[in-house]
A = this chain, B = another copy of it.
C-alpha cells in the first residue's frame, strides 16, 4: 500500500484516539478496513469510559465490524503497536495487514505477527506519539493497568 493511503486510514484511528482523550480515556484508536477500502468498524480503548478492560482499540473496531465470514484482505489500522492481546486477535482471525501509527510509546507483538505472515506497515506518526506519550506521562498508573504491568 502507498503511504498516502496508510496515512488516510490512520486518520480514522487518530480521530478515535482523540475522542477517547476528550472522554478522559486512554487515547488509542483503531479501524478495520476491507480489501476494497470499505470501513468495516472503528473504535477506541474504553477501559475508563466503560470500566471495561477487555475493550482495547483493536478489539473495539473488530467488534464494531460485526460477524464476518473471513478477514482475508482486511487491514487493522491502529494508533499504537498492538499488545499481545490484540496481536493474538489479528493472528487468530487471519487479518492480513496491520497499519501502526507508532511503536515508540509501546512495542507490542507486531514483529511476531510479521513472522506469521501478517503485513506490517509501521508509520512513525508524530501525532500518535504525542497523543499517547503525553497521556502516559500524566497517567502512568492507568497506563500500566491497561497493559498489565
Residues in B with CB closer than 8 Å to A47 are 67
Alpha-carbon gap, A109 to B89, bound state (A): 12
Determine if A148 is an interface residue (Cβ-Cβ < 8 Å): yes
The winner among A68, A70, A89 for most chain B CB atoms within 10 A is A89
Q: Which of B65, B84, B92 contacts A148 (CB 8 A)?
A: B92
Q: Which of B67, B92, B148 contacts A51 (CB 8 A)?
A: B67
Alpha-carbon gap, A54 to B76, bound state (A): 14
The winner among A53, A65, A70, A149 for most chain B CB atoms within 10 A is A53
Answer whether A147 and B63 are a contact pair too, CB < 8 Å, given A68-B53, A85-B85.
Answer: no
Chain B residue nearest in CB terms to A148: B93
Determine if A117 is an interface residue (Cβ-Cβ < 8 Å): no
Determine if A52 is an interface residue (Cβ-Cβ < 8 Å): yes
Q: Which of B62, B65, B88 contacts A88 (CB 8 A)?
A: B88
Binding site for B on A (CB under 8 A): 47, 51-55, 59-60, 62-63, 65-71, 83-89, 91-94, 109, 145, 147-149
